[in-house]
Amino acid sequence: EIHTSTRQSMVMVKANKMAPMPDGKYSFLLALLSAHSLVGGYYAATRPEGAGWRFFSWHPMLMMVGMVGMMGAAALTKKRGGYTNTKLHGIMAIVGMVLAGCGLYVIYQNKERMGKSHFTTTHSWTGLAAFGGCTLPAIVGLVFLHPDFGIDKQNQLYRKVHKYGGRILLILAWTTTLSGLKTMIGDDIKTLILFAAPMVAVAPLTLM
């Protein structure tokens, strides 16, 4: 009886993990990710207080919309399962990477204009690692796992690399957005906590 009960519990847990995300939960999490990427992105883009919008502002804005908004939405959409959502997942992820790439271009050009050295902070290196690292899951997804033309769609190793590698890199990217804000506002703990709160709330349901 104990073994039967244990097996039943394992089957139920597995079934819950495989069940598609309900529409209501998906819509709420998607709205939270979108709002945070836009509002949080604009807030970071206009720091320090009084600085206003300038060329540099495109860096935090594009990185937030790309890595938090679009990439987060991509991970969330994949949890819904199915052919259409898998393709949407890929499209969202690629758009997110393009936006983030534009954000990297902005900060590179901004430093060039100001005559500053590149990659002198932990924030810059973790941001580069997160963006560069995302190319691997992207390649695996496009070449091997695409539902239409993937050359090895059933390969479980590729699936795990894509799934868990992508999640780890997104956690790194989201943490990097927080460190970026810290460089502009200093040790304002209350603001940093408020900025991090939406990502902390969404992460277990989106990335785990």
Q: Is 163 helix (H, G, I), strand (E, B) or coil?
A: helix
What is the reported pLDDT for 109?
A: 98
Q: Which residues contact 63 (CB under 8 A, 6 or more apart)?
A: 41, 99, 100, 103, 104, 127, 177, 180
CB 106, CB 59: distance < 8 Å: yes
Tokens 């990659």 sit on residue? 119
What is the reported pLDDT for 113?
A: 96
Chain center to CA of 113: 29
pTM higher than 0.85 for the full model? Answer: yes
Per-residue pLDDT of the chain (208 residues; tens, 9 = 90+): 555 555 554 444 444 455 788 999 999 999 999 999 999 999 999 999 999 999 999 999 999 999 999 999 999 999 999 999 999 999 999 999 999 999 999 999 999 999 999 999 999 999 999 999 999 999 999 999 999 999 999 999 999 999 999 999 999 999 999 999 999 999 999 999 999 999 999 999 998 8
Q: Which residues contact 106 (CB under 8 A, 6 or more apart)?
A: 55, 56, 58, 59, 62
Interior CA angle at 173 toward 46 and 47, to 5°? 10
What is the reported pLDDT for 8?
A: 52
Angstrom CA distances, 186 to 49, 50, 178, 182, stand at 12, 15, 11, 5
User: What tokens were used for 8?
Assistant: 């039943």
